Structure 1
Amino acid sequence: MFKLINTTEHKILARKYRPQSFSELVGQESILNTISNSIESNRISQAYLFTGIRGVGKTTIARVLARTLNYTLDNIEYSPSINLENIGLNCEAIMESRHPDVFEMDAASNTGIDNVREIINFAQTRPTMAKYKIFIIDEVHMLSRQAFNGLLKILEEPPEHVIFIFATTEIEKIPVTILSRCQKFNLQRIDSEIMIKYVFDIAQKEKVEINEKSVQIICTASEGSMRDALSILDQAISLCDGNISEDKLADMLNLNDMNFIIELFEKLILSEIDQIKKKIDQIYENGFEPISLIRDLSRVTHLASLIKIKIQIKNNYLSSDQIEKINSIIKNIDISSLIHMWQMLLRGYNEVMESFDNNVALEMLLIKLCYSSQLPPIDSLISKFEDSMDGEKNKAPAKEIKIDIKIPESYDEAKSMIIDNDIRLAGDLEKFELIEYKIGHIDLTSNDMINNATIKQIESSLKNLTNMEWTINYLGEKIETVKQITIDNIKQHYPDAQIVNEDEI
């Protein structure tokens, strides 16, 4: 007896539902509109650079762009078009990465100058089947310095039939000389609402039973990466046999119980020391991972801070009842206490990571958080200090000083606050280009040489305006450091020199 085996090849969801045209791409509308308009107006660049986190569509957009530029139905007339309703002569081969005129290279495994020489030699000959020879280089930041230098000349004066498309997750590692020769597109994380709808549609196509809460869990765990979301969905389908539940997802992803996290947050922020020992015991019993617990506790603290200062929030991992619970916990809590807790969690994360015993370090962190919450708010300390300086015993107590703290929600708002505070920084701020903005952390780049003191001055200005720490991460080739000219420096470089008039130096 012979048993027939089903040999049908399973294709993972991320590949099965990979977009084949611009109309199928989701979550990057502004970038697609820019590229579409440039194609329709025949303003085609000779070098494109797509940057962003993993799984947001960099390589997919590169392949769709290559298909669009080499689109033809009869091999006689090439007319780049964003409307690809009919399959062109080159379309299938390009999307399957086997077209002779579309060369794909993974720079992570082909980093040397020899690989770039191969590209340069291949670029000199005209296309054999298409209008353009297109070179897609993924993870381009992994190229060596010699390889980047080899690319410079052909990028500056490329043949008319050659187009380069680069993709990277770390744009700061690419030399500025390369960046200046490319049209740069920063792909954002996929919006949660768009991702939820997309994942739910795919689940229906795969005939999988899944509720909205489970889809939210998948999208939250993917952190804005569509490929990660589809990979998690693929794994969940295999685990749950077509009927995905929240409990099974939580076990699969090793997620913490958010109700427990919120209860722990409440005990810490209200300094209920007698309850902390019980919570620590529950952490051991439930098998919480220390790093995962700190991460979720930090998320709740961040969410509580936004609620406290009345900033509209996007939340896909807490229910409305849980949000209401947090709101009631922080009702009588000062914003400075939440900021202090956030900073302690950030430091504690590194301490736990580097500790000889993660569980012991976590336990000490929770004890520190609990006792630090007993400290009075800064407003109260200022008020008491002013009262103590007053010698009149019968004087009415001074009014509590309220510090109006405004946290900028965008980079433009942060710039306006800085310029309003110090107009001298206006010129320096215009030199920067934004890569990514988060509250407390800004990634910037520039084609100009930037003084390190300028970065520190911007950080200091933001800290004074918002009463919280800020980090400006400058992602350029180098930061210019201004060196002061002194007599000792001159003597060091010119030992035989004579100082004629020291006052003029």
Structure 2
Amino acid sequence: MSQTLYRKYRPKNFSEIIGQTHIARTLSNAIKNNRIAHSYLFTGPRGTGKTSFARIFAKTINCSNLIETENETNFKINSCENCQSCRTIQDGQALDIIEIDAASNTGVDNIRELKETIALPPTLLKYKVYIIDEAHMLSTGAFNALLKTLEEPPAHVVFILATTEIHKVPQTIISRCQRFDFPRLPMTSIIEKLTLIAQAEKITIKKDALEMIALSAEGGMRDAESLLGQIISLEDKNITAKEVEEILGAVDKNFVVATAEEIILKNSSRAIGKINELIAGGYDLQIFTKALINYFRQLMLIKIDANFKNYFTNELTEEKIEILFQQSAKIELPQIVAVIDLLLEAQYKLFSFLLPQLSLEIAIIKATQNFPAREIIVEKNAPLKISEKITTAPPAVPKNEPINIEPIKQPEKLTAINPTAIINPDNLKSNWNKLLTEIRPYNHSIGALLLNCQILKTEGNVVSLATPYDFYKEKLNEPQNRLTIEKVFSKILGLAVRIQVVVDKTLAPIQVSNAEEELMQTETKETSNRQQSSLLSSAMEIMGGKIVE
């Protein structure tokens, strides 16, 4: 039976470990200076090297012929691999290296049995090493039984606890150990190790295929090696991205980048074409949508701060990060956020439609197309159409009361919108109070915010407003609020108006004039009167009666 790749190519000493160099350097210095602690705690995600480090450390502290390797940036102590201790440990025959699976030995009795053997000296080695894997699985009683031993173990005993869930380990245990955190491995480290394995196995594998495997491993070397072994079983001579896609059901990262590029360039036809290519290829839309959302998330973070690129080392290569910067220069932050919102909504609805791709196609259309509000113009002299058939009888008219017939008031013609006209600054200033009055029925809070804005400049059909407050700018620039302002301004001025709000800290807070204050009070009073009149009419209709002067 052949060994799995992650067992076959498990590192034997610190120099063979790829990644986690800071931990290897720290442990090497501890061995060199004879500062070996009695207990260690290794924590981190699966496949990041915790157990491998524990075994290498156990072998190195027991080696009788240590080898020092040093360069300008690194220093490591390695086991010789030739002494009796190294050979015994490497063959798995060392009785003094005890590995315990905490998931299978969770109880107090197991720890008591362990404590009975601790006092016995090593049979062959210098140190007796206990490696407790998945330590968080121990019961509360077992942890309590281990406390005293961890605090004052015999001089010949070293404990190494490994866990993927540090939050489940009691603080009393953590405080008695030297803690080492194992981060997820960057893609470059995983690709480097997979390349070495492929060369040793005499396998040809494309770079994009390696990138897909490394990305799917999510920073875990063991997962990456297992995936490579699975793919080699499918095609053992020449591995391309196609074989990796078939095994993983994943989509090539280049395809995700290309789709994002079409969305950024607002090319809806090509972006939708990419989606249909996926459907034709039988790929999982859920996986693709998740990858696309994550890519726009990366764009968003890069747009906020270029230093966020350091968070993507376990997801992207240097080349892909460079492409990320190039694409971020083509799109503004609000657009990125809007695209993410649309894609999240599409992901939620992905399987709510008969056609799974429909929600994603709609999201792409919304992200790449502009939908201007439709203007409805009512002609003053247009004839009013009266329904030929009345389904509900009109209320009876009292016989003795005269009927006053008033002429039908024709609706006034709404101002037509000229999309190419240029704003007249004087016209804008003279209509400012009217604009504030007209906007309040739509959203009273917008009117209140605009009272503390000043007209900064006009350029073409764009009005720039300035406010001394960051909060005002954020609220007025919200898409829904900005569209409301543009709609009212366009209606009053008779041309298509676009609004942008900026912060100017030099502006003093604007005081509401007496006229504006009186206008607001009058509007409030009229609103109150209308509400009272409506309530009175409803009461008369229900209960009958009339108003007595």
| TM-score interval, normalised by the smaller of the two chains | 0.5 to 0.7
Which of 43, 48, 54 does residue 56 from structure 1 map onto? Answer: 48
1:127 aligns with 2:119: no
The 10-residue stretch of structure 1 (87-96 or 225-234) with the greater mean CA deviation from structure 2: 87-96
Aligned residue in 2 for 1:410: none
Structure 2 residue matching 1:104: 3-state secondary structure: strand
Match of 1:239, as an amino acid?
A: L
Q: What is the aligned partner in structure 1 of residue 287 from structure 2?
A: 292
Give the drift of 1:263. Answer: 5.4
* Residue among 154, 171, 177 paired with 1:159: 154
Deviation at 1:211, TM superposition (A): 2.7
Question: Which position in structure 2 is the counterpart of 1:87?
Answer: 82
Q: Percent identity?
A: 37
Output the amino acid matched with 1:338: I
Alignment of 1:11-410 (within 5 A): 11-72=3-64, 82-258=77-253, 260-262=255-257, 264-265=259-260, 282-309=277-304, 311=306, 313=309, 327=326, 331=329, 333-342=331-340, 351=348, 363-364=358-359, 367=362, 371=366, 388-389=450-451, 396=458, 397-398=463-464
Distance 1:148 1:293 in 2: 44
Q: Give the stretch that moved more between structures: 317-326 or 32-41.
A: 317-326
C-alpha change, 1:123 and 1:391, in structure 2 (3 Å) is closer
- Normalised by the size of structure 2, how large is the TM-score? 0.60
How has the CA–CA distance of structure 1 residues 343 and 155 changed in structure 2, closer, same or farther, with 3 Å as cutoff? farther
Q: 1:135 to 1:318 in 2, by over 3 A?
A: closer
Please, what is the CA RMSD of the aligned residues?
3.9
C-alpha distance in structure 2 between counterparts of 1:322 and 1:58, whole Å: 29
2:174 alignment partner AA? L
Distance 2:455 2:126 in 1: 90
Answer with 251-260 or 236-245: which moved more. 251-260
Residue 401 to residue 347, structure 1, CA distance change in 2 (3 Å): farther
Distance 1:320 1:136, change over 3 A: closer
Asked if the contact 2:80–2:86 (Cα under 8 Å) also holds between the matched residues in 1, the reply is no
CA contact (8 A) 1:54 1:225 kept: yes
| Equivalent residues in 2 for 1:476-491, closer than 5 Å | none
CA distance in 1, matches of 2:318, 2:14: 35
SS in 2 for 1:189: coil
For the residue of structure 2 that corresponds to 1:159, the secondary structure is coil
Distance in 2 of aligned mates of 1:72 and 1:371: 69
Question: 1:213 is paired with a residue of what secondary structure?
Answer: helix
Q: Is the 8 A contact 1:269 1:370 kept in 2?
A: no
Give the whole-Å Cα distance in 1 for the aligned partners of 2:42 and 2:108: 22
Q: Are the counterparts in 2 of residues 240 and 248 from structure 1 also a CA contact under 8 Å?
A: yes
Unaligned runs of 5+ in 2: 66-75, 373-442, 471-549
State the secondary structure of the residue aligned to 2:109. Answer: helix
| 1:314-341 deviations in Å (ceiling 9; x for gaps) | 577689699759845x555321332354
CA apart distance, 1:299: 2.4
* CA distance, structure 2, for counterparts of residue 248 and residue 403 of structure 1: 56
Change (3 A) 1:163 1:323: closer
How many residue pairs get aligned? The number is 380
One-letter amino acid of the counterpart of residue 398, structure 1: S
Give distance in 1, aligned partners of 2:49 and 2:320. 35
Separation in 1, partners of 2:456, 2:23: 67
Provide the rounded CA distance (Å) in 1 between the counterparts of 2:345 and 2:177. Answer: 39
Shift in Å at residue 88 of structure 1? 2.3
- 3-state DSSP class of the match of 1:43? coil
Partner secondary structure for residue 250 of structure 2? coil
Alpha-carbon distance, 1:159 to partner: 1.5
Q: Distance in 1 between matches of 2:274 and 2:189?
A: 37
Quick one: distance in 1 between partners of 2:215 and 2:86?
34
SS in 2 for 1:167: strand
Partner of 1:413: none
Q: Within 2, Cα distance between the matches of 1:103 and 1:96? A: 14
Tell me how far 1:302 sits from its aligned partner.
2.3
Cα deviation, residue 305, structure 1: 2.1
Q: Deviations over 1:205-226 (max 9, x none)?
A: 1111123222222222222211
Q: Give the secondary-structure state (helix, strand or coil) at the position aligned to 2:77.
A: coil
Q: Which residue matches 1:485?
A: none
Counterpart contact for 2:100–2:132, Cα < 8 Å: yes
Letter in 2 for 1:130: L
Partner of 1:452: none
In 1, Cα distance between equivalents of 2:17 and 2:230 = 23
| 1:249–1:177 CA distance, 2 compared to 1 (3 A) | same
CA gap of 1:361–1:403, structure 2 versus 1, over 3 A, is farther
Bigger shift: 228-237 or 140-149? 228-237
Structure 1 length normalisation: TM-score?
A: 0.65
Residue identity opposite 1:35 in structure 2: L
Supply the distance in 1 between the matched residues of 2:39 and 2:127 (Cα, whole angstroms): 12
Deviations 1:113-171 (A, max 9, x none): 11111111111222222222211000101111111111111111112121100111111
Using CA pairs below 8 Å that are at least 6 residues apart, which structure has the higher relative contact order? 1
| Distance change in 2, residues 1:175/1:375 (3 Å) | farther
| Deviation by residue 1:26-72 (Cα, 9 ceiling, x = unmatched) | 20111111111111111110000111111111101101111112223
Question: Which ranges in structure 1 are unaligned for 5 or more consecutive residues?
Answer: 1-8, 74-80, 405-505
Tell me, what secondary structure is at the counterpart of 2:84? coil
